[in-house]
Structure 1
Amino acid sequence: MSKSRKTAKKSVTLVLACLFMVSAGLSGCGNASREESGTDAKTPTNNTAIDHSKPLTITVFDNAANYQGEQTGWYGKLLKDKFNLTLNILAPQVAGDQLYKTRSAAGDLGDLLIIDNSQLEELIPAGLIMDITHRVKNTKYLSKYMDDHFKPFNGAFDKVNPDGKIYAMPTFEADTSPTTYSEEQPYSSPMLPWDYYKGVGAPKLNNLTDLLNVLKKIQEKYPKTSDGKPIVPITLWKDWDGGGMENVRWLSNWYGFEQPDGTTTIQLNAKGDVMPLIDDNSMYKKILQFYFTANQMGLIDPDSASQDWNKVSEKLTNKQVLLLWYSWQRGFYNSIERGKNGDGYVAVPIADSRIIQTSDAYYGNGRVFAIGSKAKNPERIMEFLDWSVSPEGLRYYTNGFEGFNYEKTADGKFKLTEAGQTAFQKNTPVPDQYGGGGYQDGQSKINSMIMSDFVKDPDTGEFYNNNYWSSTLEANKTALTSDWQNTYNAKNATDYYMKNKMIDIVPNINTSFGVDSSDIKNMRSQISDYVKNASWKMVFAKNQAEFDQLWTKMQTDVGGLGWNKVLASDTVKAQKIVQMRADASAGK
């Protein structure tokens, strides 16, 4: 939620769901970022050293946010009570990509920034990012991650950061190792409702054709939910599209090809082979063909071309969608209580697939937290960020309130309360003492973290991710999990794919590829727009002949948009990824 540039955008949805189951104007902004020196650069670790008497509103420019405006609800009250702090979120996903160009050209993106790696590389020499080296060094919690996490990442920006200063902290970093994969489910793999799948005989899936056929059978047997809402086998949405059609991108992973972050024209496999997106043998074309065939069979949600992610998430909560492919999507519906009745989404492997899966995001996943060079209260922003990676801050972000969402067990660990098991799904009312409103409504709208929930809580020795609490693992020994485990002779999906040699785990690479020249940037934008639009047309083509015609036309037309030049640039990026993965695997 490697992960795409949209993944961080959706990553909080990932975390929350998993709780339960640049422009020419930059050149005029200055030549160097704001430097830090002396005592002013130090962030006190003792909160009493910072004056909280005056309320502070922080402008947060946030590529990850799906919401624009003031943070309200229980998380808003928490920050107000603790730090006298209010977050005002600016979201390009809501306001449009022009927001970045406008504000960067004006010389002030905001106080706290959650931006893409590529934007960071533009903004450092433009003087819009603050050097926070000394501020991080003098924090209580962030400083623990400085040498192993922040320095290697910032050091990779050597062209714009030759002195190796700390300008940013990557998002969703794990504290495991650069080659470990900790999750019990691949990030993208086929999942179906277990009760419906069994209801049509649970046939073995040998290939994508078998998947389509079983979806058709389920659709015919289970056309509506218990309250009369229509069930759709596959639902798609446009608002996460980046360098292609995002819903195509992630199913390509099922057959060993990923589209690296920052690229538009290529897919890459675990061996390091580069495949142009528009090659007739590309996995991109294979998955487009899969969706086209699905639509011809009446399996694609008719709302797909017009709906956004928010509408999709409602359908997931209502069990109106049959095929899921992001691991965290299960969290919109699965619960321990439902699992006891054998109800929930589970992995249903396809025999001819071989998944490519990146390891834990030890160095982050493509976005960063940074402080704008014109921020007036950087010490209070750093105080908030330092708290956000503390045990208390991570518990609030990932698991809500002790006593409401979870409670301590006799052995000093945690377990979810009954309310906590479904608070996100049901948008459970929050007690007034915590701020009232619905639990999901009040979640952090920043939609991103510095350290992820794959960091261990020092008080419990367990990940903050409650799916991996010993209490949750025990509670999850339900009819659903037991039946699945007995059927597939594995403890979880990752275990199954590993045992059957159906997955390749590659080191997660988070780095800088350099800033595109203005020519490449313009070409990339035009190619991306064309490929996205053409892809959607192909999915909904009236017949195979039109699909083939659109594909051939796209191959020809993108050539006139500079395809070969962008392809050459992306191939260089791929070669860097391959080398860095080899180094990580070798422990370098």
Structure 2
Amino acid sequence: MSRNRKVVKRSMVASMTGLFLVSAAMTGCSNGNANTTATDEPSGTGTNAGASQTAGAIDHSKPLTITVFDNAANYQGEQTGWYGKLLKDKFNITLNILAPQVAGDQLYKTRTAAGDLGDLLIVDNSQLEELIPAGLVMDMTDKIKNTKYLSQYVDKHFKPFNAGFDKANPEGKIYGLPTFEADTSPTTFSEEMPYSSPILPWNYYKGVGAPKLNNLDDLLKVLKQMHEKYPKSPDGKPIVPITLWKDWDGGSMENVRWLSNWYGFEQPDGTTTIQLNAKGDIVPLIDDNSMYKKILQFYFNANQMGLVDPDSPTQDWNKVSEKLTNNQVLLTWYSWERGFYNSIERGKNGDGIVGVPIADTHLIQSSDAYYGNGMVFAIGAKAKDPDRIMEFMDWLCSPEGLRYYTNGFEGFNYEKTEDGKSKLTEVGQSAFQKNTPVPDEYGGGGYQDGQSKINSMIMSDFVVDPDTGEFYNSTYWKSTIEANKTALTTDWQSTYNAENPTDYYLKNKMIDVVPNINTSLGADSSDIKNERSQISDYVKNTSWKIVFAKNQAEFDQLWTKMQKDVEGLGWKDVLAADTVKAQKIVKMRADALANK
């Protein structure tokens, strides 16, 4: 998998709350230990907007369109809506987003071949390693010294990360700023729900007796029972037990990749042929005992039982997100998917989607992304006005920039409390789900429609806001925790005797938290790159055929054929390369644990 989809997708549900809701996973930076508040931030266009730079050094009188090449984006085109107006008013800039997830991966090849990827780049670590020697990214070492917020992270975060590109960057210059960095510790997992675990609608699950789930077969049985009892949503829309989508597929079938985590195996970013567990065991994807095959079998069995959405082979993520918003899907597995439906108001009525553990699972979960999470912000070598781009990135790392990005507008989405902390307003509790109209003064349009389409930040929302002393992530605000003491919350807690899913998995020794490693795993040679591309295309296409095979005999035939065919595509070469990458991860995790 060449792209870190975890970062890309969990960020879809920023600025929401509700039971076990991972709010504001679209993350940004804070000012670290500085005591500067939002009142010190720039406002309006003109030289004032450059307050984080030398006063008067940046001219904002001319409008600037920044072309953003963005692997994290699920949207292509001009940033409009309230966030677009905010940036226009503050910096006189407009973002024009180029999204490979929309336009296709060929976009990267085309633009790099032309020698100009864009002005602001959000690319994979492996791509940065290619772009540095190609001269397509700018050295930010000197420019970052003049920033107000970014400069605080140079020694702690940026220098160590860039030093990892030792072959492409022997002088240790700063070319990329890692995304989604936490300010906790390298071995801390702060979230109240693991990234990938079984999630079901609580009222429907209880409606069929809430039977204990011992294994995946039990999960399929309860999905069938739920679907038979609840075939349609309250507003008459058809419910599907499981829905899948293709447009996130990278080195393999993405929907298979993340369910493998339930049984302790992950597919490291940048690899195509392997899965890895917490002990450091490396298992080829096409091994008959691989977790990849186990999950393919699960989806196949589900389809044989009529439980897989027939739209799955043709729909894209946008269609899936509509179904999630309408509560038309019974099984979800990404923690952030709860945000499309959950709300405090629904929670008061015992309604919402929640974690439902399966007894034989043993999850693997990466710790907080202290060192970043697979992508970087960079400035293109031919960028128009790089000083203004740097200024924009610096503002993203300010308290004001982060508050807007993660929680919207004070007075609309949230308000200050008497004790100096923050509290979501009634509007803010469901602005994303309802796509609540935004007042004209903020830019109008729907709130969800107008959110930042960059879909990535440099530091995560697991950083403390200097004004409130709490994470920027509103799920962990004192006020949100109090508000979330709903019928849904208390019912779940009494059922599982735990505060939240993470607490449950830890108490029952059903999870391995591994240090989150963010480094360059080495660029592929041209031969390996070509072989990897052929193998990944073949594996993901065949995986879809396997899921929708007409019977078990065809499943087995397709699986066996895939095992044989990939050998002729250079499987052994790519497997060897991926094994080296995995061994580097294993060593770095061991070092992190030894030094924690």
Q: TM-score, normalised by structure 2?
A: 0.94
**SS of the residue aligned with 1:440?**
helix
Quote the offset at 1:49 in angstroms: 3.0
Return the offset for 1:8: 2.9
Query: What letter matches 2:105 in structure 1?
Result: D
Higher relative contact order (CA 8 A, sep 6+): 2
Structure 2 distance, partners of 1:205, 1:241, is: 29
How far apart are the structure 1 equivalents of 2:411 and 2:53?
A: 28
What is the match of residue 196 of structure 1? Answer: 204
Given residue 4 of structure 2, which amino acid in structure 1 is its aligned partner? R
Query: Distance in 1 between the 2:24 and 2:565 partners?
Result: 46
Separation of aligned partners in 1, 2:14 and 2:80: 19
Matched, 1:458 2:462: no
Deviation per residue, 1:176-199 (Å, 9 max, x gap): 111100000000000101100000
Residue 390 (structure 2) aligned to one of 382, 385, 389: 382
Residue of structure 2 in register with 1:479 after alignment: 487
Native 8 Å contact 2:247 2:317 kept in 1: yes
Question: 1:268 aligned to 2:272?
Answer: no
What one-letter code is carried by the residue in structure 1 that aligns with 2:181?
Answer: E
Aligned counterpart in structure 2 of residue 491 of structure 1, from 499, 508, 511 = 499
Question: Structure 1, residues 519-560: CA drift from partner, whole Å, max 9, x if none?
Answer: 100100000000001100010000000000000000000000
- Percent same amino acid at aligned positions? 81
The alpha carbon displacement at 1:136 in A equals: 1.4
| Alpha-carbon contact 2:2-2:251 (below 8 Å) kept | no
Contact 1:5 1:242 in 2 (8 A): no
- Whichever residue aligns with residue 265 of structure 1, its letter is T
Q: 1:296 aligns with which of 304, 314, 318?
A: 304
Q: Deviations over 1:96-117 (max 9, x none)?
A: 2111111111111111000111
Q: Which residue of structure 1 aligns with residue 163 of structure 2?
A: 155
Deviation at 1:138, TM superposition (A): 1.8
Give the corresponding residue for 1:15.
14
Instruction: Please say if residues 340 and 480 of structure 1, whose CA atoms lie closer than 8 Å, have aligned partners that are also in contact.
Output: yes
Cross-structure match for 2:234: 226
**Alignment-derived partner of residue 503 in structure 1:** 511
Q: Specify whether residues 125 and 373 from structure 1 end up closer, same or farther in structure 2 by C-alpha distance, changes over 3 A only.
A: same
Counterparts of 1:344 and 1:518 in 2: how far apart (Å)? 48
Residues 130 and 370 in structure 1, CA contact (< 8 A), matched pair in contact too: yes
Paired AA for residue 401 in structure 2 = G
Q: Give RMSD over aligned pairs.
A: 1.5
Q: Which residue of 2 aligns with 1:400?
A: 408
Q: C-alpha deviations, 1:274-327, integer Å up to 9, x for none?
A: 000000000000000000000000100010000000000000000000001000
Partner of 1:97: 105
Q: Which residue of 2 aligns with 1:38?
A: none
User: 2: CA distance between counterparts of 1:525 and 1:584?
Assistant: 32
Q: Which residue of 2 aligns with 1:164?
A: 172
Distance in 2, Cα, partners of 1:376 & 1:60? 11
Q: Distance in 2 between matches of 1:230 and 1:74?
A: 33
Q: Is the 8 A contact 1:56 1:85 kept in 2?
A: yes
Q: Please name the residue that 1:581 is paired with.
A: 589
* Conservation of the 8 A alpha-carbon contact between 1:4 and 1:260: no
Pair 1:111 & 2:119 matched? yes
Matched positions, count: 567
Is the contact made by 1:43 and 1:379 (CA closer than 8 Å) also made in structure 2?
no
Distance in 1 of aligned mates of 2:245 and 2:171: 43
Separation (CA, whole Å) in 2 of partners of 1:216 and 1:95:
37
What's the counterpart of residue 66 of structure 2? 58
Alpha-carbon distance, 1:253 to partner: 0.2
Gapped runs of 5+ residues in structure 1? 22-41
Runs (4+) off by over 4 Å = none
2:418 is the counterpart of 1:410: yes
Secondary structure at 1:542 match in 2: coil
1:3·1:365 contact (CA, 8 Å) conserved in 2? no
Residues 11, 448 of structure 1: 8 Å contact kept:
no
Q: Which residue number corresponds to residue 447 of structure 2?
A: 439
Are 2:4 and 2:124, in contact at CA under 8 Å, matched by a contact in 1? yes
CA distance in 1, matches of 2:56, 2:228: 64
On the 8 A contact 2:24/2:473 being kept in 1, the answer is no
Corresponding position of 2:243: 235
Which sits farther off after the overlay, 46-55 or 145-154?
46-55
Structure 1 residue 580: deviation in Å? 0.2
TM-score by length of 1: 0.95
TM-fit CA distance, 1:16: 4.9
Deviations 1:8-43 (A, max 9, x none): 33242143564389xxxxxxxxxxxxxxxxxxxx99
In structure 2, C-alpha distance between the alignment counterparts of 1:54 and 1:342, rounded to whole Å:
53
Deviates further, 79-88 or 43-52: 43-52
In the aligned structure 1, how far is the partner of 2:24 from the partner of 2:233? Answer: 21
Residue 189 of structure 1: SS of its match in structure 2? strand
SS at match of 1:448: coil
Equivalent residues in 2 for 1:493-532 (5 A)?
A: 493-532=501-540
Aligned 8 A contact 1:43 1:382 in 2? no
Q: Which residue identity does 1:582 align to in structure 2?
A: A
Q: Give ranges in structure 2 of 5+ residues lacking alignment.
A: 17-21, 26-49
Asked whether the equivalents of residues 59 and 90 of structure 1 are also in contact (C-alpha less than 8 Å), the reply is: yes
Residues 39-78 of structure 1: pairs in structure 2 closer than 5 A: 45-46=53-54, 48-78=56-86
Confirm or deny that 1:369 pairs with 2:368: no
1: distance between equivalents of 2:52 and 2:448?
A: 33
